[in-house]
Amino acid sequence: MAMKHSLDMRQGQSLVMTPQLQQAIKLLQLSNQELAEFVEAELERNPLLVKIEGEATPAAEAVEAQRSDAREEGDAATQSEARDQLDAPGEDVYEPGTGSDAAMPANASGPSATTDWSSAGSGQSSEDFDYTANLSSDVTLAEHLHMQLNFAGLSSADRLIAARLIDETDETGYLRTPLEDIAKSLGADIANVEAVLGVCQGFDPTGVMARSIPECLALQLRDRGRMDPAMQAMLDNLALVARHDLKALMDVCGVDKADIQDMLLELRQLSPKPGAGFSSDTTVAVAPDVYVRELPNGMYAVELNSETLPRVLMDKAYYAEVTALAMRDKEKEFISECAASATWLIKSLDQRARTILKVASEIVRQQDGFFAHGVAHLRPLNLKQVADAIEMHESTVSRVTSNKYMATPRGLFELKYFFSASIPATGGGEAHSAEAVRHRIKQLIEDEQPGDVLSDDQIVEILTGFGIDIARRTVAKYRESLHIPSSVQRRRMDKAE
Dump pLDDT digits (tens) for 337-350: 999 888 988 998 99
Domain assignment of residue 243, given as a range? 213-268
More confidently predicted of 153 and 72: 153
Where a domain ends, among 415, 433, 460?
A: 415
Residue 425 has pLDDT above 60, yes or no: yes
Q: How far is CA 302 from CA 27, 104, 143, 375, in A?
A: 21, 12, 28, 19
Mean pLDDT of 75-92: 39
**Which residue did the predictor score with more confidence, 138 or 208?**
208
- The DSSP string of 106-171 is TT--STT-EEEE-S-------S---------SS-BHHHHHHHHHTTS---HHHHHHHHHHHHTB-T
Lowest mean pLDDT among 54-68, 86-100, 187-201, 386-400: 86-100
Do 241 and 312 belong to one domain?
no
- Does this model's pTM top 0.85? no
pLDDT of residue 422: 65
Burial 404-439 (b: 16+ CB within 10 A, else e): bbbbbebeebbbbbbbbbbbbbeeeeebbbbbbbbb
User: What per-residue confidence (pLDDT) applies to 139?
Assistant: 81
pLDDT of residue 285: 66
Each residue's pLDDT tens digit, 266-299 = 888 898 889 888 865 444 567 899 999 999 888 9
**Between 365 and 483, the higher pLDDT residue:** 365
Is 14 within the bounds of a domain? no
The residue-averaged pLDDT of 162-185 equals 92
How many domains in the chain? 4
Residue 207 in any domain: the answer is no
Identify the residue with better confidence: 83 or 477.
477
In the prediction, which pLDDT does 440 show? 83
Regarding whether 322 and 376 lie in a shared domain, the answer is yes
Task: Out of 415, 435, 453, pick the residue that ends a domain.
Answer: 415
* Same domain assignment for residues 409 and 293: yes
Whether residue 352 is found in the same domain as residue 448 = no
Mean pLDDT estimate for the chain: 78
One domain, residues 316 and 357: yes
As a whole number, mean pLDDT of residues 395-401 equals 89
Q: Which among 200, 223, 242 is the end of a domain? A: 200
